[in-house]
């Protein structure tokens, strides 16, 4: 059996889709469907079972999976709202929950891939390498991710099974609809154009001109490829960046969306006060360790990915549709 936590979420449902495409359907999806819109992400996918996140946590603690053969856990379940200020809630979701999954996997020698985050690099003043000298949390979301990464670092030398943390950079693509204000800027701008015939970006801030804030954007299909690469190489453990190694301005995204529609206006709005001091103006993954680990699957060019994603948004609203 394969377990995907956060399996009804953005990255998790794309992993489940990828597993189905490889012929796997012995999958337990774990999630919290309080945000009921997420059901659309797993509608049509082939899975063995579904379990609520809290029931899953209780089952782990009670030893209810003691006799199940589990090949791998893709742990994508977390609170991904970078504007969430409830530290207790964030640590319960992103640290304690992940810690429990980790120890279950270590005790049972089960492969584990888990979602870390590029937010652990803070403002990126010291680079984007997977090492403490580069790391700094600007908000409690980043702190929760970094705190777990450091917890894992202390245990890795004694680990007898694979554990891989992937520091996702700016992921975009199908099935992110439920994320609301946390969805990618491509999704946001697509819907802005549909509503108003124009798209909006932040104006100048932190030494960057209007729309010139720059991020490492990675297509969700490539994120799945990276996860599967490590799954296929159980001898590799560690924390790795999951980004393309190439940064693009938000202006590039806006132009791609406007090109898709063939018309429209790009408008710049004042940078929000609430984000000042908590915003990453520039990110770019250092992919040295990822490539040294042998990943050679490449990354989808951003112009190609934007065109493909916008076409799916036109056709289905951004959801995959499966043949019955």
Catalytic residues: 141, 179
| Nearest alpha-carbon partner for 75 in 58, 96, 89, 45 | 96
**How far is the C-alpha of 7 from the C-alpha of 252, rounded, in Å?**
30
Burial level of 100, CB count in 10 A (0-12/13-18/19+)? middle
For 217-256, letters b (16+ CB in 10 Å) and e give bbbbbbbbbbbbbbbeeeeebbbbbbbbbebbbbbbbbbb
Residue with tokens 């560690």: 238
| 153 contact partners, CB below 8 Å, separation of at least 6 | 239
Q: Are 295 and 226 in contact (CB under 8 A)?
A: yes
Instruction: Give the C-alpha separation, 175 to 76, whole Å.
Output: 14
Treating both helix axes as pointing N-terminal to C-terminal, what angle do 220-231 and 10-21 enclose, rounded to 10 degrees?
A: 60
Q: Is 299 buried (19+), middle (13-18) or exposed (0-12) by CB count in 10 A? A: buried
What is the spatial distance between Cα 148 and Cα 46, in angstroms, rounded to a whole number? 31
By DSSP bridging, strand 163-168 and strand 170-172 are unpaired
């Amino acid at each position: 059996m394969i377990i995907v936590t956060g399996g009804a979420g953005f990255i998790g449902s794309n992993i489940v889709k990828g597993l189905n495409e490889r012929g796997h359907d012995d999958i337990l999806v774990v999630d919290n469907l309080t945000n009921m819109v997420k059901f659309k992400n797993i509608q049509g996918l082939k899975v063995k079972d579904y379990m609520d996140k809290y029931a899953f946590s209780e089952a782990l603690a009670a030893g209810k999976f003691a006799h199940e053969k589990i090949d791998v856990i893709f742990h994508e379940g977390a609170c991904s709202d970078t504007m969430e200020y409830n530290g207790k809630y964030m640590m319960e979701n992103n640290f304690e929950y992940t810690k429990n999954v980790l120890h279950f996997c270590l005790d049972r020698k089960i492969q584990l891939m888990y979602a870390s985050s590029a937010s652990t690099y803070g403002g990126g003043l010291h680079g984007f390498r997977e090492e403490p000298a580069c790391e700094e949390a600007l908000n409690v979301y980043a702190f929760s991710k970094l705190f777990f990464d450091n917890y894992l670092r202390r245990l890795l030398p004694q680990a007898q099974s694979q554990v891989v943390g992937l520091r996702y950079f700016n992921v975009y693509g199908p099935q992110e609809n439920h994320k609301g204000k946390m969805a990618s800027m491509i999704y946001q701008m697509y819907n802005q154009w549909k509503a108003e015939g124009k798209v909006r970006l932040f104006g100048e801030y932190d030494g960057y001109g209007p729309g010139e804030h720059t991020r490492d954007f990675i297509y969700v299909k490539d994120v799945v490829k990276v996860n599967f690469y490590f799954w296929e190489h159980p001898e590799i453990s560690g924390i790795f960046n999951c980004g393309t190694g190439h940064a693009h301005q938000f202006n590039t995204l806006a132009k791609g969306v406007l090109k898709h529609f063939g018309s429209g206006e790009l408008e710049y709005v004042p940078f929000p006060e609430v984000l000042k001091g908590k915003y990453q103006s520039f990110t770019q993954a250092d992919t040295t360790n990822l490539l040294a680990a042998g990943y050679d699957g490449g990354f989808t060019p951003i112009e190609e990915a934007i065109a493909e994603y916008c076409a799916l948004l036109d056709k289905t609203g951004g959801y995959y549709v499966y043949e019955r």
